[in-house]
Structure 1
Amino acid sequence: MNAEFMQAFEQLGREKGISPVVLFDAIEAALISAYKRNFGSAQNVRVSLDRTTGEIHVYARKTVVEEAQDIRLEMSLADARSLDMRYELEDVVEVEVTPKNFGRIAAQTAKQVVVQRIREAERGMIYEEFSSRESDIVNGIVQRIEQKNVFVDLGKAEAILAPSEQMPGDTYKHGDRVKTYIIEVKKTTKGPQILVSRTHPGLLKRLFELEVPEIHDGIVEIKSVAREPGLRSKIAVHSRDEDIDPVGACVGHKGMRVQTIVNELKGEKIDIVKWNADPAKYIANALSPAKVVSVEVSEAEKMSKVIVPDYQLSLAIGKEGQNARLAAKLTSWKIDIKSESQAQALEE
């Protein structure tokens, strides 16, 4: 290998973010394997690669013993001292054994190592980039669909949108643009595996953070999110500034902000409620749009008894219990809902 060849390797390594030292150490290790493979040697060898000129030297390393039993690994003390009188028992003697045509094999081996290392480095950089974006939204293009798994091109990498992470009613075809939420980035032998979701509550949270400047700036805080993907969601918000209405900020002028998110989630209904440190008030808010007469809470059991007007009972419970279920998930409280007449009947 000539000097230009070495400079090209070094430059390529720097461009790809690989230390030249690491690159050349890897080439030397690969050259040892290449030497043993091509020259059938069981010797203990060392390869020296000159970083400037590209010159290669292969040395057999032999341990000095009284009488050599295996000349590939050992050298007698007499033979060692014929080379240099200072050798003692257990010293290691290096004898050059560079084959004449080793340069061509070395160049090919070095090229393979560089390509492999660059591939590993690129995979490492992609892993670092996307693992730092876990719990964030990414935009991608649908590449293909295999066994209901949707493969999304994110530019530098490909993500997998599994069937369990797809919203009900979602359909995908090649070339579709799609917004997804990164739930996990795994290291694999084939490079990073990026798992994305359209159903995760974090997707809704991040959409609000991107759409509502007050949330991005930390004035309005998202306290909790509960989702039944594609159907309905509830989000509890709190303002650190008394002059700013957190619900109004999230809804936006003429409902523009929340409508943008509803459109992104293919019509998923979103209830935005005001968080409250008082559990009773928080639970009443969480049952919105239903109106609540009273809320009794048991802190020890995290249980609440809610009374609503008779005509509001079905609204409070919701279709197939959806409203009550989402409110319970949002507040982390068990909620028992009764109408006024039911409560009165129990008292009697």
Structure 2
Amino acid sequence: MSSELFDAIHYLEKEKGIDKDLLMEALEAALISAYKKNFKSATNVRVDLDEVSGGMHVYARKLVVEESMDPQQEISLDEAKKIDPNYDIDDVIEIEVTPKDFGRIAAQAAKQVVTQRVREAERGVIFSEYVDREEDVMTGIIQRKDARFTYINLGKVEARLPVGEQMPTEEYHVHDRIKVFVTKVENTNKGPHIYVSRSHPGLLKRLFEMEVPEIYDGTVEIKSVSREAGDRSKISVHAPDPEIDPVGSCVGQRGQRVQAIVNELKGEKIDIVQWSEDPVVFVSNALSPAKVVEVLVDEEEKATTVVVPDHQLSLAIGKRGQNARLAAKLTGWKIDIKSESDALEDGTITPGEHQEDAYSEVDEDLFE
């Protein structure tokens, strides 16, 4: 065995981060397997690797017995004493059985072990790098598509975008560059599997963190997100400092910040509303761009009845109930919407009873 092998092992430990002792153990196991496969003179053997000389020795381990019945595993006491008079019954004796042409077989085994360990180490490095990117946004290039996935090159690995995580309003073309949200990183026998999404609410949250410095530095907080990917989303924000306008920070000058995110999501409409710990205010804001007359709260059922002007009813409910549905997801409260005339008729509110309109300060025209 050439000392070059040991030089290679030290190199792999330094450059690839592969533990030398683990590599040596794997190499010894592979050499034992190779010996047993090619030389059936013993079944219990040990391989000794000498890093200093670069040598390799194979030893057959045999049990000392009174009279040997299995020459491959046993040796008689008389034969053992010829080797060393101090051997006794039940001792284990090691006899060198290194074949003359074992170097060629050993080289093949070493190559297989090193190749396998390098591959495993590289997979481990990739997994370690990408597992820390779970719930983060990455940019990749679409490589190919099949019936189940769109495959995206993220640099060192190919991520999988399942059909169910794609935006229904988007078309994915090979060589397109897109941002994706990393939902899961798995370590498998075939290497790391990375799953990504374009429809996950986390994508919207991360895009705002990337686009709005006040969110990135913690001056403005994202409290909740509700999303129907490709169509419409709502996001609630809050600033602990009352001097800061959280909604205005997210919208940006002339809507530039939010528009950049809308463009990334291919025209998905985004309502930005101010969070409040008061459910009356928060639910009112969440129904933006509709204006609200009254919010009646049932704390026990975590439900609200919202009264809106008659001409705002369809706006509050939204197309196919979307606005109300997103508002409920955003706030975590059940929302029942009534027109002002219906609420007066059924006694939900009484004539003259009203509250000041509470709704988001976002320019309604921006999201129409």
Q: What's the TM-score once normalised by structure 2's chain length?
A: 0.92
1:205-244 to 2 correspondences below 5 Å? 205-244=205-244
Distance 2:41 2:230 in 1: 66
1:301-340 to 2 correspondences below 5 Å? 301-340=301-340
Q: Give the structure 1 partner of residue 89 of structure 2.
A: 89
Distance 1:89 1:156 in 2: 59
1:45-194 to 2 correspondences below 5 Å? 45-194=45-194
Q: Give the structure 1 partner of residue 246 of structure 2.
A: 246
Distance 2:153 2:182 in 1: 13
Q: Give the structure 2 partner of residue 274 of structure 1.
A: 274
Q: Which structure 2 segments of 5+ residues have no match?
A: 349-368
1:310-346 deviation digits (Å, cap 9, x = unpaired): 1111110001100000000001111000011010111
1:154-202 deviation digits (Å, cap 9, x = unpaired): 1110100011011012111221111100000112211011000000000
Distance 1:258 1:179 in 2: 16
Distance 1:68 1:40 in 2: 18
Partner SS state of residue 71, structure 1: coil
Farther-moved stretch of structure 1 (202-211 vs 70-79): 70-79
State the one-letter code of the partner of 1:6.
Answer: F
Partner SS state of residue 346, structure 2: helix
Distance 1:42 1:271 in 2: 76
Q: CA deviation at 1:42?
A: 5.0
Distance 1:87 1:241 in 2: 85
1:251-292 deviation digits (Å, cap 9, x = unpaired): 111111101100000000000000001111111110011111
Distance 2:174 2:52 in 1: 50
8 Å contact from structure 1 (residues 35, 41) kept in 2: no
8 Å contact from structure 2 (residues 237, 275) kept in 1: yes
Partner SS state of residue 261, structure 2: helix
CA separation of 1:15 and 1:268: change in aligned 2, threshold 3 A: same
8 Å contact from structure 1 (residues 214, 220) kept in 2: yes
State the one-letter code of the partner of 1:298.
Answer: D
State the one-letter code of the partner of 1:147.
Answer: A
Q: CA deviation at 1:4?
A: 2.7
Farther-moved stretch of structure 1 (60-69 vs 300-309): 60-69
Farther-moved stretch of structure 1 (292-301 vs 73-82): 73-82
Distance 2:103 2:291 in 1: 84
State the one-letter code of the partner of 1:238.
Answer: H
Q: CA deviation at 1:40?
A: 3.0
Partner SS state of residue 254, structure 1: helix
Partner SS state of residue 123, structure 1: helix
Distance 1:322 1:103 in 2: 73
Farther-moved stretch of structure 1 (282-291 vs 37-46): 37-46
Q: Percent identity?
A: 62
Farther-moved stretch of structure 1 (153-162 vs 2-11): 2-11
8 Å contact from structure 1 (residues 303, 334) kept in 2: yes
Q: Give the structure 1 partner of residue 197 of structure 2.
A: 197
8 Å contact from structure 1 (residues 6, 53) kept in 2: no
State the one-letter code of the partner of 1:184.
Answer: K
State the one-letter code of the partner of 2:287.
Answer: L
Distance 1:272 1:201 in 2: 14
Partner SS state of residue 171, structure 1: coil
8 Å contact from structure 2 (residues 42, 60) kept in 1: no
Distance 2:189 2:275 in 1: 45
Partner SS state of residue 81, structure 2: helix
Q: What's the TM-score once normalised by structure 1's chain length?
A: 0.97
8 Å contact from structure 1 (residues 181, 197) kept in 2: yes
8 Å contact from structure 1 (residues 152, 158) kept in 2: yes
Q: Give the structure 2 partner of residue 20 of structure 1.
A: 20
State the one-letter code of the partner of 1:204.
Answer: L
Distance 2:54 2:155 in 1: 37
Distance 2:86 2:258 in 1: 85
Farther-moved stretch of structure 1 (43-52 vs 230-239): 43-52
Q: CA deviation at 1:8?
A: 2.3
Q: CA deviation at 1:41?
A: 4.5
Whether 1:32 and 2:41 are equivalent positions in the alignment is no
Distance 1:223 1:98 in 2: 70
Q: CA deviation at 1:300?
A: 1.2
Q: CA deviation at 1:82?
A: 2.1
8 Å contact from structure 1 (residues 62, 73) kept in 2: yes
Partner SS state of residue 296, structure 1: strand
Number of residues of Structure 1 aligned to a counterpart in Structure 2: 348
Distance 1:235 1:343 in 2: 29
Q: Give the structure 1 partner of residue 44 of structure 2.
A: 44
Q: CA deviation at 1:79?
A: 1.9
Q: Which structure 1 segments of 5+ residues have no match?
A: none
